[in-house]
């Protein structure tokens, strides 16, 4: 297979000052992309602001001989996102890749959660991702080329205690991807979703040190680079962590058909085993099951033992 390169491509990476976003930005730049490093510089709860992290990543890219600029907009601010995209166009004349990585956490059980915290998390993850995609969309359509990645999570796909806001926002990435995949197909715009699990400031309190070492963000970026490459697939949910990569698919069982007077709630109840018959399908219990799976896979491959 030919080497994946991003020479003459322009990429926007949100939340790129630290963790996964930083790794993605550096990975794209190392293979030739000009990169907009977006980061508002907030804490993981979305509070505060600083350009320091984004500027540091830009400096790192430039020191390695690449091209990059920083932009500190809040992705949930439509005007700020439009300005970011406009600056990329002014500098480089195109936008080929949009990596939606920016995110915050405001974890609490649903019973204790303030709706303002629910809205803020949805605004950053969902509305922010839509803002970036929407601002890039006419450019990508005009140039007949675009690669967009949304970042989901096992918390949205499988569920995780205390993350109703985050899980809802991350599950929404799948729906957004599905529609944009269809709408972008004729213009060679390919849209995918990355579902990563990594040792970052978002997960630092959940992982034992020995697992954190196996879940470095840099081990996920190769999957991201494939999803935004010229020969990328589209409408793929790629799970990634600890060097493990897996595709998540949404299945539907064969089910049953109830006609006329047989179509009753009692009949559905009586035949629910047939409705739910999935035979070889596997369901993960929760988000941490995915994290544990990837970490254990990596540990086994390395002859290591984790304390789980």
Claim: this prediction has a pTM higher than 0.75: yes
Pick from 184, 228, 171: nearest CA to 13: 228
Please identify which of the residues 145, 158, 166, 294 carries the catalytic annotation: 166
Strands 244-248 and 237-241: antiparallel
Q: What pLDDT is recorded for position 298?
A: 81
Query: Cβ–Cβ contacts within 10 Å for residue 213, how many?
Result: 15
Q: Which CATH superfamily is domain 10-248 in?
A: NAD(P)-binding Rossmann-like Domain (3.40.50.720)
At 106-119, the pLDDT tens digits run 999 999 999 999 99
Query: Cβ–Cβ contacts within 10 Å for residue 308, how many?
Result: 10
Mean pLDDT to the nearest integer, 173-196: 97
Q: What pLDDT is recorded for position 252?
A: 73
At 7-59, the pLDDT tens digits run 999 999 999 999 999 999 999 999 999 999 999 986 666 675 678 999 999 99
- 295 has pLDDT over 90: no
Say whether 166 is catalytic: yes
Q: What pLDDT is recorded for position 203?
A: 61
Q: Where are the CATH 3.40.50.720 domain residues in the chain? A: 10-248
Residue with tokens 């059980």: 109
């Amino acid at each position: 297979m030919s080497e994946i390169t991003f020479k003459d491509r322009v990429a926007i990476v949100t939340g790129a000052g630290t963790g996964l976003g930083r790794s993605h930005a550096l990975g794209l730049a190392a293979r030739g992309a000009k990169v907009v490093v977006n980061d508002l510089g907030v804490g993981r709860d979305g509070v505060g602001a600083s350009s320091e992290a984004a500027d540091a990543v830009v400096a790192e890219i430039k020191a390695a001989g690449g091209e990059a600029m920083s932009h500190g907009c809040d992705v949930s601010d439509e005007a700020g996102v439009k300005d970011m995209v406009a600056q990329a166009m002014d500098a480089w004349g195109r936008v080929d890749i949009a990596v939606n990585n920016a995110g915050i956490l405001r974890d609490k059980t649903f019973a204790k959660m303030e709706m303002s915290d629910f809205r803020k998390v949805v605004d950053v993850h969902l509305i922010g991702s839509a803002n970036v995609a929407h601002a890039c969309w006419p450019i990508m359509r005009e140039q007949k080329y675009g690669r967009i990645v949304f970042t989901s999570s096992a918390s949205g796909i499988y569920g995780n205690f205390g993350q109703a806001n985050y899980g809802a926002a991350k599950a929404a990435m799948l729906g957004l991807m599905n529609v944009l995949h269809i709408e972008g197909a004729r213009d060679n715009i390919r849209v995918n979703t990355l579902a990563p699990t990594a040792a970052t400031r978002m997960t630092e309190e959940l992982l034992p040190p020995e697992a954190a070492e196996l879940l470095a963000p840099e081990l996920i970026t190769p999957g991201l680079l494939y999803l935004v490459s010229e020969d990328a697939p589209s409408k793929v949910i790629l799970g990634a962590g600890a060097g493990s990569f897996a595709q998540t698919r949404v299945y539907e069982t064969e089910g049953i058909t109830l006609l006329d007077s047989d179509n009753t709630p009692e009949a559905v109840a009586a035949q629910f085993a047939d409705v739910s018959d999935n035979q070889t399908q596997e369901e993960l219990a929760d988000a941490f099951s995915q994290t544990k799976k990837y970490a254990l896979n990596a540990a086994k491959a390395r002859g290591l033992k984790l304390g789980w």
